[in-house]
Structure 1
Amino acid sequence: MSSRDLLIRGRGITKVFGYGAAKTTAVDTVDFDFHKGEIISIVGESGSGKTTLAKIIMGLLKESGGSIDYKGQPRVLRRHADRKKYWKDIQAIFQDPFSSFNLFQRVEKLLLSCIRLQGLKLTKDEQFNKMKEACSFVNLKFEELYNKYPFELSGGQMQRLMIARIFMLHPKVLIADEPTSMVDACSRSTILDMLLKLRDENEMTIIFITHDVGLAYYVSDTIYIMEKGQIVERGPAEDIILNPQHAYTRQLISDVPKIHTAWDLG
């Protein structure tokens, strides 16, 4: 990919929690380059620092050191207005969909908040049609859901509703933190297909945060392997999975023998 497509660039990103003897370095001098329309997977076991890095990229955590450029300019998130503008472009789907919504707001209000975030001035009919279209994209019927609370929906319905929000917001970047870990295999495949369709339609950059090497191999253009807060290997998905250079990468892949089997049979 050319430098013209570069969307988010990080250099020396570090995050330290605590002080003195209790100090923990969760992210340790990490560099990354994410391009327009690229699908990236940041892969590592629990505690590797990948979710902390995702929250820094999202702007939910402030880095202790390093710098992030967005669209070729230093990212500035000092004021609420700065963060609001940034979050128009960068959205996230998290592992537990119920933690991402106000459980005391009905579905209609949750989706209306997307319209307000965009600053759109729509009639009630236009609002209804926009929400209906978003639900239809994820195979939900708005007429059956609009008056329900999140706790009245299944986990699969909630994940689809999160994707409906992304459909409405058209972000330039989506951070998907273990987005399929709490749903069954059928729903997992459907959710991935929906996200890839959004990427194709909107040239959206997707950053998957996952422990699942098989998922990373299946969906990614580029894979970053993260261990103990550091990126230990990075590169095109096929290179990383079929010719791993780092011992930690080889260990992760050895836990997923199907990758080798599928390649050998192909």
Structure 2
Amino acid sequence: MNKGEVLLQGSNVTKVFSYGKKTKAAVNEVDFAFHEGEIISIVGESGSGKTTLAKILMGLLKETNGTIAYRGQARKLRNHADRKKYWKDIQAIFQDPFSSFNLFHKVEKLLLDCISLRGLTLSKEEQFNKMKEACSFVNLKFEELYNKYPFELSGGQMQRLMIARIFMLHPKILIADEPTSMIDACSRSTILDMLLKRSENNMTIIFITHDVGLAYYVSDTIYIMKKGRIVESGEAEEVIINPKHRYTQQLISDVPKIHEAWNLA
């Protein structure tokens, strides 16, 4: 792909957690550069640090060391106003949708907040149509959801609702942490196709996944993460077809038919 401008860039990004007298670097001296319109996958097993990195990128966790720049400027998230401005451009879909919503707000309020965050002034009818359209994109009927609370929905409905919010917000960057984990297999490819179509509008998508096959299928660039470190990165086909690091080779060997499965060998 022809890469656009660098939107999000990190150097020596580290996150250390303390447990009593013990410390652990969940993310350890990570470097990255994510471009406009690029589809990236950060791949690793459970405990590799990829979700912690996603939360740092989102601004939900503060890095212990290192620097992160957004559009060439040092990222500033010192107060709520800074974070709100940042979140206009960067949004996330997390694996556990129930932790991402205020469970005491009805679905209508959750979607109206998207309109508010974008600074749109719409009539009641226009608001309704926006919310209805976003839900229909992910095969949800807004009329059946608007008066319900998140805890009244299934995990799959919640994850679809999170994706509907993305259609309303039009962020520059989307971080998708196992975005289809609670969606049935029949709907998974449909949801992925919807997300990838959004990337045609130059939205950068960062997939956080343990699934090497998915990463190979959707990505322009892959970062392989192990024990908090990026051990290999590059163009998706190069990383998967000619893996250099032993850990990458191991991940691929666990999916022996990856080439045949995606018809890309």
Q: Does TM, scored on the shorter chain, surpass 0.5?
A: yes
Equivalent residue for 2:252?
Answer: 253
Question: How far off is 1:198 after superposition?
Answer: 1.3
Identify which range, 210-219 or 130-139, moves more after superposition.
130-139
CA distance in 2, matches of 1:113, 1:225: 35
CA distance in 2, matches of 1:264, 1:127: 43
CA distance in 1, matches of 2:111, 2:264: 45
Equivalent residue for 2:103?
Answer: 103
Q: What whole-Å deviation, never above 9, does each CA across 1:176-228 have from its counterpart, x for those lacking one?
A: 1111122221122121111111111x211000111110110111000000011
Given that 2:217 and 2:262 are in contact with CA atoms closer than 8 Å, whether structure 1 keeps it comes out as: no
CA distance in 1, matches of 2:10, 2:176: 18
Question: How far off is 1:97 after superposition?
Answer: 1.3
User: 1:160-199 alignment to 2 at 5 Å?
Assistant: 160-199=160-199
| Secondary structure of residue in 2 paired with 1:195 | helix
Equivalent residue for 1:117?
Answer: 117
Equivalent residue for 1:38?
Answer: 38
Q: What whole-Å deviation, never above 9, does each CA across 1:81-135 have from its counterpart, x for those lacking one?
A: 1110000100000101122112222111110111111122211111111111111
Could you tell me which amino acid in structure 2 is paired with residue 237 of structure 1? Answer: A
| Secondary structure of residue in 1 paired with 2:77 | coil
Could you tell me which amino acid in structure 1 is paired with residue 152 of structure 2? Answer: E
Equivalent residue for 2:233?
Answer: 234
CA distance in 1, matches of 2:98, 2:18: 29
CA distance in 2, matches of 1:139, 1:53: 30
Question: How far off is 1:169 after superposition?
Answer: 0.4
Given that 1:225 and 1:232 are in contact with CA atoms closer than 8 Å, whether structure 2 keeps it comes out as: yes
Q: CA RMSD in A?
A: 1.7
Taking structure 1 as reference, are residues 187 and 130 closer, same or farther at Cα in structure 2, changes over 3 Å only? same
CA distance in 2, matches of 1:263, 1:121: 44
Structure (1/2) with the larger helix percentage: 1
CA distance in 2, matches of 1:265, 1:213: 13
Given that 1:16 and 1:64 are in contact with CA atoms closer than 8 Å, whether structure 2 keeps it comes out as: yes
CA distance in 2, matches of 1:262, 1:176: 23
CA distance in 1, matches of 2:56, 2:264: 40
Taking structure 1 as reference, are residues 67 and 99 closer, same or farther at Cα in structure 2, changes over 3 Å only? same
CA distance in 2, matches of 1:263, 1:140: 29
CA distance in 2, matches of 1:3, 1:135: 31
Equivalent residue for 2:148?
Answer: 148
Structure 2 gaps of 5+ residues are none
Question: How far off is 1:21 after superposition?
Answer: 4.5
- The number of equivalent residue pairs is 265
Taking structure 1 as reference, are residues 264 and 162 closer, same or farther at Cα in structure 2, changes over 3 Å only? closer
| Secondary structure of residue in 1 paired with 2:88 | helix
Identify which range, 84-93 or 122-131, moves more after superposition.
122-131
CA distance in 2, matches of 1:142, 1:221: 34
Work out whether 1:24 is the aligned partner of 2:24. Answer: yes
CA distance in 2, matches of 1:119, 1:141: 25
Identify which range, 54-63 or 128-137, moves more after superposition.
128-137
Given that 1:156 and 1:187 are in contact with CA atoms closer than 8 Å, whether structure 2 keeps it comes out as: no
Question: How far off is 1:140 after superposition?
Answer: 1.6
Q: What whole-Å deviation, never above 9, does each CA across 1:2-48 have from its counterpart, x for those lacking one?
A: 78511111001011111784011111111000000101000001111
Given that 1:94 and 1:176 are in contact with CA atoms closer than 8 Å, whether structure 2 keeps it comes out as: yes
Work out whether 1:82 is the aligned partner of 2:77. Answer: no
Given that 2:233 and 2:239 are in contact with CA atoms closer than 8 Å, whether structure 1 keeps it comes out as: yes
Given that 1:13 and 1:31 are in contact with CA atoms closer than 8 Å, whether structure 2 keeps it comes out as: yes
Could you tell me which amino acid in structure 2 is paired with residue 243 of structure 1? Answer: N
Equivalent residue for 2:242?
Answer: 243
Equivalent residue for 2:211?
Answer: 212
Equivalent residue for 2:12?
Answer: 12
Could you tell me which amino acid in structure 1 is paired with residue 137 of structure 2? Answer: F
| Secondary structure of residue in 1 paired with 2:175 | strand
| Secondary structure of residue in 1 paired with 2:29 | strand
Taking structure 1 as reference, are residues 41 and 263 closer, same or farther at Cα in structure 2, changes over 3 Å only? closer
TM-score, normalising length: structure 2: 0.95
TM-score, normalising length: structure 1: 0.95
Given that 1:12 and 1:31 are in contact with CA atoms closer than 8 Å, whether structure 2 keeps it comes out as: yes
Equivalent residue for 1:224?
Answer: 223
